Chains A and B, each alone.
Chain A
Amino acid sequence: MEFIMSIFRAISDLGSTLMLPVMFTVIGLIFGCKFSKALKAGITVSIGMIGINLVMNLVYNNMEPIADILVSDFGLSLKYLDVGWAAVSAVAFSTAVGAFIIPFILVLNMILISLKATRTINIDIWNYWHYALTGSFIHMATNNMILAFLGASLHFVASMVVADRTAKKVQEVMGIPGISIPQGYAAATVPHSILVDKIFDLFTKNRQEKEANSERAHQLRDNEIVKTITDPIFVGLIIGTIIAFIVGYDWKAALNVGISMSALMYLLPRMAKVLMEALVPISSAARAFMTKKFKGQDFYIGMDSAVLLGHPTTITVGLVLMPITLLLAIFLPGNQLIPLAGISSMQWDVAMATVIHKGKFGRTLVSGIIGTSMVLLISSYFGPYITEFALSGAIAIPEGTTGISAMTVHLFTFIPHIMANLDIIGGVVMAAGIIGLVLWNRGWLKQQDHLNTTEFVDAEASSYTGE
């Protein structure tokens, strides 16, 4: 154990710009990539991080004085700017926990399968960053690697349990056979959605409930005005300019801030894409490894929640949630986040709610509002962490009262973090939680006679790992 810890320390000491290429090259090699390809992937990960760093600095320099005024002159506690999940996903992969997350989760998935505690094989490698983020926050707070990986494991196991139990509904509502959704954020929106569904069931016994109409949903989204103001570039411009105006900038300075926020909205996802492209050989090889290993057996294929986004209810509620989220940010007690990047991707917040509510509009909207309120509060809580994260990682942000956060952290990150703060007791509770979930799901899976799983077929591994 001491040896493993010293490796972790040595790697952390390199700093992320150097650590990332080394780590990802090694992991690429483990999965059978050629050395040149693995090395290129490793360096490209760092390039993505450096790109994100550049954009974040630009944004921070513009936003920091404004947030200061909001706090000091207006008495608003809005001190963290929402930079979106793209930046945070990159940061999550750039930590010591993130570097090891891919092999760690793959092994954990195989253990769960051998224990018959899940029927899902999570081949959505890219989204392992959600689990890495949970672990990284714990590592920052406690400096304890064991607690960090326990937290990441709890997040993962909980997501897998949700994936198994919602699989039938996902397939039925979306019409995609054989899949389940273990994505770490989408899974966390399921428990409160189920609760909302149960409460609605009590009150709406025989009433006809509306589903969002597909044609109308697309009409709404394709409306020229809606299309313009929901375009990330305009979201940045509008929100940036308005906030700068409110704090008393003249029109020229305000528009400057607005355009900087547009730049954030436009450039950050592109920088994250650089990082994503770098991970393609590794994630493809990891996926091929899993499909090869479980070839011919029946499982759910764990997918990104992106495959859910076409549903008309998701589209419509996602649009309606945009203004609601802005209002919540102002009036929700305890919120410290200025929503920005997350605003134009609200459909992710209700992708699973749509499934749970079978497309019913009213229920999905209620779940969306409850979920968004939780996300605002939780991302406020993690504001100092994400800001410091950015400080100790490649992203350099001057220390101050204000900072950055992102609407990308949910209960499945928050709960392990609260437990980890209790140190040993928390560790025991988390371990007990994992064991409990494993036994609970194992028992449940045993009782199911028809699971709608699908036969795994072998993917062509050679094309990913060769040249």
Chain B
Amino acid sequence: MKRIIIACGSGIATSTIISSRVTELLDQHHISYDLIQCSLQEIDSYVSEADLIITSMDLQKSFPIPKITAISFLTSIGDKETEEAILQALK
């Protein structure tokens, strides 16, 4: 079971779009997961229990767990690479 934080400015809009893409991806690859959708401010409170952070913007900050910027899921440009990166990070 992988715990993934998906965060955007409000935890409402872009993170919902990214969540639906991540759900699809992980279902396809039969990876079991638990998604935590939240706002940027809330990331820290979930980091200790999560395996990966996915955000809709470039966060210039380091975390103890890997982070991936998934703007490509919104633009559809380079989204295959992002999918690869997510799968790689969850291995």
Chain A residues with CB under 8 Å of chain B are: 86, 123-124, 126-127, 174-176, 178-179, 214, 218, 221-222, 227, 230-232, 269, 272-273, 276-277, 280, 283-284, 287, 291, 301, 303-312, 344-345, 347-348, 454-459, 463
Nearest chain A CB to B81 CB, angstrom units: 12
A457 engages B76 (CB within 8 Å):
yes
Q: In the complex the two chains form, what is the Cα distance from A312 to B55 in whole Å?
A: 16
23 contacts between A and B (CB under 8 A): A86-B12, A123-B74, A178-B77, A179-B71, A214-B60, A222-B44, A231-B41, A269-B12, A269-B39, A273-B37, A280-B16, A280-B20, A284-B17, A287-B76, A303-B74, A306-B57, A309-B40, A309-B57, A311-B60, A312-B60, A344-B41, A345-B10, A348-B9
Nearest chain A CB to B70 CB, angstrom units: 10
B14 engages A304 (CB within 8 Å):
yes
Q: Which of B1-25 contact A (CB under 8 A)?
A: 8-14, 16-17, 20, 24
Q: Which residues of A contact B58 (CB under 8 A)?
A: 174-176, 310
Q: A307-B57, A454-B75 are in contact. List 5 more A-B contacts (CB 8 A).
A: A218-B60, A273-B37, A276-B12, A284-B20, A305-B9
Q: Which residues of B contact A283 (CB under 8 A)?
A: 17
Nearest chain B CB to A184 CB, angstrom units: 13
Chain B residues with CB under 8 Å of chain A are: 8-14, 16-17, 20, 24, 37, 39-41, 44, 55-61, 71, 74-77, 79
Q: Which 7 pairs from chain A and chain B are nearest by CB? A: A310-B57, A306-B9, A459-B76, A214-B60, A301-B75, A309-B9, A310-B59
Q: In the complex the two chains form, what is the Cα distance from A404 to B33 in whole Å?
A: 40
Nearest chain B CB to A139 CB, angstrom units: 24
Q: Using A306-B10, A309-B40, A459-B76 as known contacts, say yes or no to A280 and B17 having CB atoms under 8 A apart.
A: yes
Residue of A nearest to B13 (CB): A126
Q: In the complex the two chains form, what is the Cα distance from A222 to B11 in whole Å?
A: 18
Q: In the complex the two chains form, what is the Cα distance from A90 to B5 in whole Å?
A: 25
B12 engages A457 (CB within 8 Å):
no
Residue of B nearest to A176 (CB): B71
B57 engages A179 (CB within 8 Å):
no
Q: Using A304-B13, A306-B10 as known contacts, say yes or no to A457 and B60 having CB atoms under 8 A apart.
A: no
B12 engages A454 (CB within 8 Å):
no
A454 engages B77 (CB within 8 Å):
yes
Nearest chain B CB to A348 CB, angstrom units: 7
Residue of B nearest to A301 (CB): B75
Listed residue (A308, A310, A311) with the most chain B CB atoms within 10 angstroms of its CB: A310
